[in-house]
Amino acid sequence: MSVQARPKRLSVTQIQSRKGGDKIVCLTAYTAPVARLLDAEVDLLLVGDSLAMTVYGFDSTLPVTLDMMIAHGAAVVRATQHALITVDLPFGSYQASPEQAFRAAARVMAETGCAAVKLEGGEEMAETVAFLVRRGVPVMGHVGLTPQAVNALGGYRSRGHRATERDEILRDGVAIADAGAFSLVIEGTAERLAHELTDRVAVPTIGIGGSPHCDGQILVIDDLLGLFTEFTPKFVRRYRELGEEIRAAARDYAEDVRRGRFPAEEHTYTGPRQSKKAAAE
Ligand code: KIV
């Protein structure tokens, strides 16, 4: 029996060892076809709870359930073989206690096959991060602008411009890194703060509205493709305008159907062609 060499997925330890080295390229992915297209281009795919807004049309990430995250996480894992897959723990599935977080993380890892989970929060979540890591759950932290706390933060404004808030976010990041997180997302903060936090922690930082100095970057795939246009945060660069492309394709299709130009002969099942002799008979 021949054993075919299978491409190996990047591991949590490989990502962790990139601190200060080659930049870590991350994107979000929520569905199998898109994850399949992104897999070879990136190091890490995050099945983010941003799918609440990009896929389900909610106006915040709060309504996402563990079952939704598991369904999308499993689809992304099935479609990929290279990138490290990390799945967000949704709001309410981990904040109550370390034990609750472990039950949620264990379900996510067992039912999706992902290698790691991400959770939001700072010092108050450090005990939970340590609890998970000691039990074999790799954790990506997330500090700064934490969208699950949008109601407490009073909106999606960038953070850490004033000294007290800056010091708080620095303490948050250091606490999560010290608790054993393998990497740390820094979202929507003053650039200098993300820069300083990157220098202070021993694990890679992943910026989104952070700093070019972060060890890696992440964007929401729908933002990058121009598919999510309700609002575009300052930190987004749109690399394509696929929203416009989709609208144009639908417009062309509608026009063709209305004018009888689609379907054409090559799109219909006309049966085997008759030979000239049979037709003449
Ligand atoms: O849910 C998400 O997409 C995220 C990224 C923005 C980091 O948490």
Hey, which residues does 205 pair with through a beta bridge?
184
Query: What is the pLDDT at residue 1?
Result: 44
Does residue 275 sit within a domain? no
Does residue 190 sit within a domain? yes
Tens of pLDDT, residue by residue over 157-200, are 999 999 999 999 999 999 999 999 999 999 999 999 999 999 99
Does residue 239 sit within a domain? no
- Domain total for the chain? 1
Report CA(50)–ligand 1 centroid distance (Å). 6
**DSSP-based three-state secondary structure for 154:** coil
* Nearest-angstrom CA–CA distance, 270 and 276: 16
Does residue 272 sit within a domain? no
Nearest Cα to Cα of residue 143 among 104, 181, 114 = 181
Report CA(263)–ligand 1 centroid distance (Å). 41
7 pLDDT more than 80: no
Ligand 1 lined by 218 (C-beta under 6 Å): yes
Atom 1 of ligand 1: nearest residue by CA position: 48
Does residue 120 sit within a domain? yes
Are 76 and 84 in contact by the 8 Å Cβ rule? The answer is no
Domain region containing 182: 12-224
Q: Read off the pTM.
A: 0.94
Domain containing residue 205: CATH number:
3.20.20.60
Instruction: Provide the pairing of β-strand 205-208 with 139-144.
Output: unpaired
Does residue 245 sit within a domain? no
Rg (CA), the chain: 23
* Nearest-angstrom CA–CA distance, 217 and 212: 8
Does residue 34 sit within a domain? yes
Does residue 175 sit within a domain? yes
